[in-house]
């Protein structure tokens, strides 16, 4: 467990160095500065920012004498940061951790003049104890095992802690490493020992979805298993635990709520601009798996989180999804599995599915992929012949977050994507087969379209579809993002015969700025669903574009439909079938069905995840094999600092039980 301290302090130092949070004291507790990935920097920013928000509100709420007791404090720098800002007047700051760790911390404090100068004078006492590593007037460093609460009481008394003063007890990713019995004893100890106290708990939740299972496995592999998370897996179960241990009331929020409700838009925009960032799925999923809980010893203490606890709202819950209707069957491909995400797939001719682009496993390592797979649907195999680029250069691939559409002639048009946020893919690629017999192909060309007209700015996370207008097939493009613009609202038509682009403009209702959405064709109309808006928040809106009048209408939705992005969509009859995606809730979206005639909708819950077969149901692609069978290909992503998960695919989802379900209420 002590190793998690060293890892987290390096990550916090990296986050500070990149400008997310101001704290010049982390550098004194790391041997070597390392730059973490932007996703990790963001994750530690929200952790530090949340805890700091609560501590500073506590300090303002209680202007007189008070105490902060940080259990499992590790190399936390809050005391030095707050002291340097003169925010700890009349405050005693107590830090508790394993004896050997606090000795290391004491040595570092003694070594660095910048830290030592902030300490008050030592307390003169005749009592000497190995438990008191450092005992100044306003800063106490105690070496105590938290499972020995009687010894902890003695150490606190010895260093002058007053059990009657207003006291904030802080546990930042600590209790989760303890057994259920020991950690709950600490919770009860806090309410019994301090008469006027607040307990602040920051830790992981939701262990049993794919991200939660992956997270648990990571901590198990590094030798620090999350011993308590399955006993208290949700915010509600954590609240009940504290109430049963004598705390009078609790409030708790996940990190998506904190980020979007308590940070100002100005601060969020600053975060967006600090580093190139394009891992919104991983960020939102991570934030839904961490929470802060504040428990109060008396009902007289008002929230130190927000003036009105109701203003943050509850974690998103838009009705219940129907369980036990989704069946997923893995397709065995012999020696092959398809493990990639942020790619495209689609029918190439009548018998083959093209799988192109994305990030995954190639040549024994994770990277952006240059391998192009062609899957033979009839014979259930990956074709051995590789497609080759023709009349092109390497700047056009590899690419992620692209989109593609199959034309009526069986060829596939690929638009956009990016290698990195700094390297955006240009050009329109057209992939076609000379015949349906892959083995007899002499060449399998991928051509670059000769473009003209109002060529769209290169982009990614956009959406395209194909439509027939007066006998000519066009590709329609809407939205996406660029390096400078997180969300676009422009739209274009590409003439597939001439390569000519035309920019479109609309009056009245439009979907606005959106990225990571889907476009599908329904009769002679285009359906835009979901995505992220300009504030990087998931949408659940459905817009329908009439291509005769070129006007948008928003569909009025009734029933249950979750916001989502990074999903896939297909039309069957008059129903839009949306699969997977990400939202701000802890419940990963499964499959949504929307009646495009009436707007009535229903969500269907994903099956319970198995440890060995877990599916991160986003950044995947899907192909409709028939009206009752959907093939899902790829998907996955980075799981914060825990590693990268690649779904083992393809698998088939049976749609018949979903489509037959009488999910739509009658008037």
Residue with token string 């959907």: 630
Could you tell me the two tokens for 187? 């919770």
Q: How far apart are CA 304 and CA 324, in angstroms?
A: 41
Residue 443 dihedral angles phi and psi, to the nearest 5°? -150, 150
Task: Look at residue 326 and tell me whether its pLDDT is greater than 70.
Answer: yes
pLDDT tens for 403-424 read: 999 999 999 999 999 999 989 9
Mean pLDDT of 72-78: 97
Question: Which of the residue ranges 112-126, 578-592, 612-626 would you say has the lowest mean pLDDT?
Answer: 112-126
pLDDT band at 549 (very low <50, low <70, confident <90, very high): very high
DSSP state letter for 259: I
Distance CA 578, CA 569 (A): 4
Q: What is the pLDDT of residues 479-505, one digit of tens each?
A: 999 999 999 999 999 999 999 999 999
Structure confidence by residue, pLDDT tens digits, 94-106: 999 999 999 999 9
- The string of pLDDT tens digits covering residues 435-480 is 666 665 545 568 889 999 999 999 999 999 999 999 999 999 999 9
Measured CA to CA, the distance from residue 615 to residue 611 in angstroms comes to 9
120 band by pLDDT with thresholds 50, 70 and 90: confident
* pLDDT at position 209 over 80: yes
- Distance (Å, whole) CA 160 – CA 181: 28
Measured distance CA(571)–CA(578) in Å, rounded: 9
Report whether 499 contacts 452 (CB < 8 A). Answer: yes
pLDDT band at 385 (very low <50, low <70, confident <90, very high): low
CB burial class (10 A; 0-12, 13-18, 19+) of residue 86? exposed
- Is residue 134 within 8 A of residue 106, CB to CB? The reply is yes
Lowest mean pLDDT among 18-22, 117-121, 169-173: 117-121
- The more confidently predicted of residues 320 and 68 is 68
List % helix, strand, coil for the chain (3-state, nearest 5). 25, 30, 45
- The per-residue pLDDT for 527 is 99
pLDDT at 223: 93
- DSSP code at position 620: -
Q: Which domains does the chain have, with CATH numbers?
A: 2-304 (3.40.50.150)
Query: What is the chain's mean pLDDT, rounded?
Result: 92
CA atoms of 605 and 398, how far apart (whole Å): 34
DSSP string, 239-305: HHHHHHTT-SEEEEEEHHHIIIIIS-HHHHHHHHHHS----HHHHHHHHHTEEEEEEESSTTSPPSS
Helix (H, G, I), strand (E, B) or coil at 214: helix
Strands 418-420 and 388-389: unpaired
CA–CA distance, 183 with 176 (Å, rounded to integer):
7
Residue 119 DSSP label: S
Q: What are phi and psi of 647, to 5 degrees?
A: -60, 140
CA 169 to the chain's CA centroid: 29
Residues 243, 239: Cα–Cα separation, whole Å = 6
pLDDT in tens, 25-43: 999 999 999 999 999 999 9
DSSP code string of 38-71: HHHHHHHHHHHHHHHHHHHHHHHH--SSEEEEEE
The percent of residues above 70 in pLDDT, for the chain, comes to 93
Can you name the residues that pair with 559 across neighbouring β-strands? 601
What the block records as the tokens of 666 is 């009658």
CA distance 46 to 202: 11
Reported confidence tier of residue 585, pLDDT bands at 50, 70, 90 = confident
**Sequence-separated (6 or more) residues with CB below 8 Å from residue 507:** 551
Q: What is the pLDDT of residue 19?
A: 98
How high is the pLDDT of residue 384? 73
Q: For residue 418, what are its two tokens?
A: 């990016």
Question: What angle is formed at CA 533 by the lines to CA 41 and CA 665, rounded to 5 degrees?
Answer: 120
Q: pLDDT class for 667, splitting at 50, 70, 90?
A: very low
N residues, the chain: 667
Give the integer Cα–Cα distance in Å for 163 and 356: 64
pTM of the predicted model over 0.85: yes
Mean pLDDT of 284-305: 96
Least confident of 156-160, 314-318, 358-362, 578-582: 314-318
Please report the pLDDT score of residue 446 as a whole number.
81
DSSP assignment of 461-474, as one string? S-EEEEEEETTEEE
Provide the token pair at 25. 């004291």
Q: What is the pLDDT of residue 317?
A: 47
The residue among 160, 152, 158 whose CA lies nearest residue 193 is 152
- CA torsion sign for 247, 253, 255, 260 is negative
């Amino acid at each position: 467990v002590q190793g998690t301290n060293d890892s987290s302090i390096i990550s916090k130092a990296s986050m500070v160095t990149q400008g997310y949070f101001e704290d010049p004291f982390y550098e004194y507790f790391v041997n070597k500065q390392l730059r973490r990935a932007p996703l990790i920097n963001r994750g530690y920013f929200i952790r530090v920012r949340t805890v700091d928000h609560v501590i500073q509100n506590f300090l303002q709420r209680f202007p007189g004498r008070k105490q902060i007791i940080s259990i499992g404090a590790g190399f936390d720098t809050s005391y030095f940061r707050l002291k340097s800002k003169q925010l700890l007047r009349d405050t005693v700051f107590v830090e508790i951790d394993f004896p050997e760790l606090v000795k290391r911390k004491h040595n570092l404090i003694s070594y660095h003049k910048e830290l030592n100068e902030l300490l008050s004078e030592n307390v003169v006492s005749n009592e000497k104890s190995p438990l008191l590593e450092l005992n100044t007037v306003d800063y106490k460093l105690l070496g105590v095992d938290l499972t020995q609460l009687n010894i902890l009481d003695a150490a606190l008394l010895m260093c002058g802690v007053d059990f009657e003063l207003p006291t904030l007890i802080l546990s930042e990713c600590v209790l989760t490493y303890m057994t259920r019995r020991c950690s709950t004893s600490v919770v009860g100890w806090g309410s019994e020992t301090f008469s006027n106290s607040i307990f602040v708990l920051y830790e992981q939740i939701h262990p049993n979805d794919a991200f939660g299972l992956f997270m648990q496995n990571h901590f198990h592999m590094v030798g620090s298993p999350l011993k308590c998370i399955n006993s208290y897996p949700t915010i509600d179960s954590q609240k009940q635990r504290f109430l049963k241990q004598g705390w009078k009331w609790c409030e708790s929020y996940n990190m998506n709520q904190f980020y979007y409700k308590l940070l100002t838009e100005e601060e969020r925009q600053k975060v967006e601009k600090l580093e190139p960032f394009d891992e919104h799925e991983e960020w939102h999923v991570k934030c839904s798996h961490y929470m802060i809980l504040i428990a109060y010893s008396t009902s007289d203490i008002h929230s130190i989180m927000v003036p009105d606890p109701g203003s943050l709202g509850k974690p998103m819950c838009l009705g219940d999804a129907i369980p036990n209707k989704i069946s997923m069957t893995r397709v065995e491909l012999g020696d092959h599995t398809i493990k990639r995400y942020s790619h495209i797939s689609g029918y190439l001719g009548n018998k083959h599915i093209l799988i192109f682009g994305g990030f995954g496993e190639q040549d024994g390592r994770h990277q952006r992929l240059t391998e192009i797979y062609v899957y033979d649907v009839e014979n259930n195999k990956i074709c051995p012949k590789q497609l080759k680029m023709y009349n092109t250069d390497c700047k056009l691939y590899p690419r992620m977050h692209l989109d593609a559409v199959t034309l009526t002639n069986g060829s596939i048009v690929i638009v956009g994507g990016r290698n990195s946020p700094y390297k955006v893919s240009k050009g329109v690629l057209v992939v076609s087969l000379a015949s349906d017999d892959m083995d007899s192909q002499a060449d399998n060309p991928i051509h670059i379209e000769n473009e003209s007209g109002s060529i769209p700015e290169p982009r990614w996370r956009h959406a395209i579809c194909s439509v027939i207008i007066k006998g000519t097939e066009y590709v329609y493009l809407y939205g996406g993002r660029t390096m400078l613009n997180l969300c676009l609202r422009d739209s274009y038509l590409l003439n597939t015969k001439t390569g000519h682009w035309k920019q479109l403009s609309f009056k009245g209702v439009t979907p606005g700025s959106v990225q990571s959405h889907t476009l599908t064709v329904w009769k002679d109309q285009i359906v835009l669903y979901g995505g992220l808006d300009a504030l990087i928040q998931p949408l659940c809106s459905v817009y329908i574009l009439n291509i005769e009048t070129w006007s948008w209408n928003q569909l009025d939705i009734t029933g249950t439909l979750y916001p989502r992005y990074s999903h896939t969509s297909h039309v069957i009859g008059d129903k839009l079938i949306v699969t997977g995606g990400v939202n701000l809730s802890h419940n990963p979206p499964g499959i949504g069905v929307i009646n495009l005639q009436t707007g009535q909708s229903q969500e269907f819950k994903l099956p319970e995840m198995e440890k060995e077969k877990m599916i991160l149901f986003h950044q995947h692609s899907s192909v409709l094999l028939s009206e009752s069978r959907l093939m899902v290909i790829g998907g996955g992503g980075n799981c914060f600092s825990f590693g990268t998960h690649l779904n083992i695919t393809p698998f088939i989802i049976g749609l018949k039980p979903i489509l037959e379900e009488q999910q739509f209420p009658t008037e």
